[in-house]
Chain A
Amino acid sequence: MLDRESTFADPEIVSSLKNDFVPVAIDQAYQRRQKDTEGEFYRGIVQQSPRKDFGDGTTQGLYTASPDGTFLGFSNNRGPERIQAMLKKALADFRPVDSEPVTATQTDARFHPELPFGGLVIRVRAKVLGGYEETDDPWQRIFQSAVSRDNLWLTAAEHRELIQGTIPDRVKTRISRYHLVDNTRGEPPMWQADEVRSMRLEIEPAEPDSQSRTIVGDFHLETLDGARGFTGTIRGVLEHDGQHVTRCDFVAKGEFRGEGRFTGHAPAGRFPFAVSFELADQSDIADQIPPQASRGWIDGYWRVAE
C-alpha cells in the first residue's frame, strides 16, 4: 500500500523499472519457504544481501539482481530518493553477460496453488469509509484512504451452484471468515469459525424474463472477547448465460471495530466499512494471485466449512 503511493508513484522510478529492469512482485512468505527451484533462486539472492540471516523471519524488501542470481542491491526503505540511488547503482554494477534461463526442476505444490478448471475468481476490495482522525502523517494518510485487494476463489462445482441460484454453505463460510476482513492497513487476522455468529447470503429468485438476480444477506462477525467485530448487510447482482456466471458483483457494508497485529491505527470505536466483490475477467495481473488466506494451505481454504 505504502510503496504504491510513494516509491512507485515516482516518475523516475517508474520509468526506470519499465525500461531498464524486469520487475517482479512476490509474496516472499512463499519464496523463502519454497522447497523448489524458484525458492532456491530467491534465497540465493537474499543470502547475498543484508537479509542473509533471515532464519524463519521475513525477507521483505526491494532487491535488484542479475539474471544469473548475482545480488546487486537491497533496500527496505520507501523513500523515492533512496530507491532511485539503488536503481542507479544496480545499473552501474550490472554486467549484461549471457545468462541461462532457470528451468524449474522442482515445484513445491504447497506454494503454487492453482484455480481449478471451471472455477471463478472474484476480486475483493475493502475500504474504511470514515472514522479516522485527521493526521499530518503522510504514511497514515495513505492507509486512511487505501482500497485493499484480494481474490475469492470458487470451484467449478460452486460456480455451477451459483448458476442454479444457490450459494453453498462452504462459500458463505469462506467469504465470512477470509474475505470480510479489514486488510486496508496490512495483513489482517482472519475470523475463526466460532467468531462467525451469523451469516446469511442468498440469491433471490429471478424476475420473469430476467437473467439478473439479486444477492442479499447480513452477517455478524465478532471475536469472543468482543474486541473486534463486523456487522452489516450485503446486496448485489448475479447474472449468467446458463453456462457461466457473467456478473457477480456485491457489497458488504456495515460497522467494523478493532484491529489486528499488523493492521494497527484503525479508527477508534465503530467505523463504517465496506467490502466489494466483482467477477474478475483476467484483465488485471492481480487476478492471478491466490487468495491471501490460502497461503501455504490451499486445502484448508477449500475445506473451510468442513
Chain B
Amino acid sequence: MKVCRLRLCILPFLLLCLSAVTAQENQSSRHDPPGLDQAEFERLHAELQPDQAQPWRTIPWKISLLDAQRLAAEQKKPLFIWAMDGHPLGCT
C-alpha cells in the first residue's frame, strides 16, 4: 500500500515534469530550430551572398545566343561563347 501511495505522489510530479519538457520543446521548435537560430540564419545568409565586385560579373554577358548574334551583327563585333556543362553563370 505504501508503494502505491508513493506512486500516486510521484506520478503527478512526473507528469508535471513531462509537460514542462514538452512545452519547452514546443517553444524551442517554434522559435529556435536546433542548430539554426535567427542570428545564425542572418549570418549564413550574408555569408552566401556573392561578391558583386568579382571581375567576371562586370562582363555584359548575354544568355541567348541569337540575341548575342543580333548584337554582334549590329556592332560588327565577333562573338565570344562561354559554353559549359551546366550554365556558366550558375552551377559550373
Residues on A close to B: CB < 8 A?
1, 3-4, 8-11, 14, 17-18, 20-29, 31, 37-38, 41-42, 45, 58-68, 72, 87, 90-91, 94, 96-102, 104, 125-127, 147-151, 183, 186-188, 204, 214, 216-218, 232-237, 249-251, 253-254, 262, 274, 276, 278, 285-286, 288-289, 292
Distance between Cα atoms of A92 and B36 in the complex (Å): 56
Contacts of A262 in B (CB 8 A): 85
Contacts of B55 in A (CB 8 A): 8-11, 14
Given contacts A26-B81, A62-B81, A274-B48, contact A292 B86 (CB under 8 A): yes
Distance between Cα atoms of A21 and B82 in the complex (Å): 12
Contacts of B15 in A (CB 8 A): none
Distance between Cα atoms of A91 and B91 in the complex (Å): 30
Q: Are A1 and B78 in contact (CB under 8 A)?
A: no
Distance between Cα atoms of A127 and B47 in the complex (Å): 9
The total number of A-B Cβ pairs within 8 Å is 243
CB of A227 to closest CB in B, whole Å: 21
Interface residues of B in 1-60 (CB under 8 A from A): 29-31, 33-38, 40-41, 44-45, 47-50, 54-56, 58-60
Given contacts A8-B56, A14-B58, A187-B86, contact A21 B80 (CB under 8 A): yes
Say whether chain A's binding surface is mostly helix, strand, loop, or mixed: mixed
Distance between Cα atoms of A192 and B83 in the complex (Å): 28
Distance between Cα atoms of A217 and B33 in the complex (Å): 8
Q: Are A251 and B45 in contact (CB under 8 A)?
A: yes
Q: Are B87 and A289 in contact (CB under 8 A)?
A: yes
Q: Are A24 and B48 in contact (CB under 8 A)?
A: no
Contacts of A278 in B (CB 8 A): 45
Interface residues of B in 52-92 (CB under 8 A from A): 54-56, 58-92
Other-chain contact of B79, A21, A29, A251, A292 (Cβ < 8 Å): A21
Contacts of A147 in B (CB 8 A): 48, 50
Distance between Cα atoms of A91 and B78 in the complex (Å): 8
Other-chain contact of A276, B44, B67, B75 (Cβ < 8 Å): B44
Given contacts A4-B56, A67-B72, A285-B61, contact A22 B88 (CB under 8 A): no
